[in-house]
Amino acid sequence: MSTPRKSKFQLRKLLLIANYTISIFAISYGAELAVGYPMILLIGFAAFRTPLFSAIYSGLTYALAAFILIFIPYFAIKLGKKYPKLNFLQKIFNPWRTNRKELGLTGLPTFTDITLSIIGFAIYIIISGVLLKIFELFPWFQANQTQDVGFSHYLVGVDRALAFIALVIFAPVFEEILFRGWLFGHLKNTIGKKLAIILTSIIFGIAHGQWNVGINVFCLSLILCCLRDLTDSIYASILLHMIKNGVAFYLMYVIGFA
């Protein structure tokens, strides 16, 4: 029979899980709106869809989301400590509080990180291939549904380079900081490693918005979270994410495999 103290502790865990889940979705999509709509109003939708402004939009969106989740709590808590009248800020933002260790941003990438990222990519290919084959048994599942990555499939020269920067550099770096750093770090401290890996991966899959991509990146996230936990940093997961997106970029934009 559970005691009132244990029930209260479990409720607190559930509230923190809800807080972190809602926060990552709300801040991510809020950042897209906060950056996207002003850009469209300033330059028009046609210009907004060009590779140059798509890359700028991608970088600004990721940077804004990271700033809100990581730096705003830091400055708010600092203000709360300095000014007694603002002490309430500590209570509001303390659950979001993080540090470089929790984000996995300590030290520098190592040769081990590179090796593990390559091994992780091979494991990801096997797991995602098996799981996608299982889901193909369901008639509603569209394995070949096209993902909108914000860039046309027909890019050359500078436009292709801009797409590469957005998809193979910006996305892996910032998504790892946000999901395997901020989200996984908080969830691991709240519910433990195993559940944190699964929940982070489910949230990451849902964030991609469609079944075939969601299943694929769910498998990817399982490996990314394991690398994050194994190495105590996000460098191996960033490298694996870059490899995955780099291969997809090559297939889509270099040899034209949609």
Decide: 166 and 54 in contact? Cβ < 8 Å. yes
User: pLDDT by residue (tens digit) across 52-78?
Assistant: 999 999 999 999 999 999 999 999 999
Output the pLDDT for position 258.
Answer: 54
Output the pLDDT for position 109.
Answer: 92
* Of 217 and 5, the one with more pLDDT: 217
Which of 27, 11, 17, 67 has the alpha carbon at shortest distance from 202? 17
CA end-to-end distance (rounded Å), the chain: 56
Q: How confident is the model at residue 220 (pLDDT cuts 50, 70, 90)?
A: very high
Output the pLDDT for position 7.
Answer: 72
Which of 79, 97, 106, 75 has the alpha carbon at shortest distance from 20? 97
- Of all residues in the chain, the percent with pLDDT exceeding 70 is 93
Which of 236, 221, 242, 241 has the alpha carbon at shortest distance from 114? 236
Angle of CA points 121, 126, 128, to nearest 5°? 90
Output the pLDDT for position 86.
Answer: 85
Q: How confident is the model at residue 141 (pLDDT cuts 50, 70, 90)?
A: confident
Rounded CA separation 77/60 (Å): 25
User: pLDDT by residue (tens digit) across 8-60?
Assistant: 778 888 999 999 999 999 999 999 999 999 999 999 999 998 889 999 999 99
Decide: 93 and 77 in contact? Cβ < 8 Å. yes
Placement of tokens 């303390």 in the chain? 94
- 3-class secondary structure, 98: coil
Angle of CA points 110, 251, 237, to nearest 5°? 25
Output the pLDDT for position 177.
Answer: 96
Instruction: Give backbone dihedrals phi and psi of 30, rounded to 5 degrees, phi first.
Output: -65, -40
Output the pLDDT for position 253.
Answer: 81
Global pTM reads 0.91
Task: Check whether 157 has a pLDDT greater than 90.
Answer: no
Q: Give the 3-state DSSP-derived string for 31-92, with helices as H, strands as E and coil as C.
A: HHHHHHHHHHHHHCHHHHCCHHHHHHHHHHHHHHHHHHHHHHHHHHHHHHHHCHHHCHHHHH
Output the pLDDT for position 182.
Answer: 96
Out of 31-40, 97-106, 131-140, least confident range: 131-140
Decide: 157 and 70 in contact? Cβ < 8 Å. no
Task: Check whether 224 has a pLDDT greater than 90.
Answer: yes
Output the pLDDT for position 122.
Answer: 96
Phi-psi bin for 164: left (phi > 0), alpha (psi -120 to 50), beta? alpha
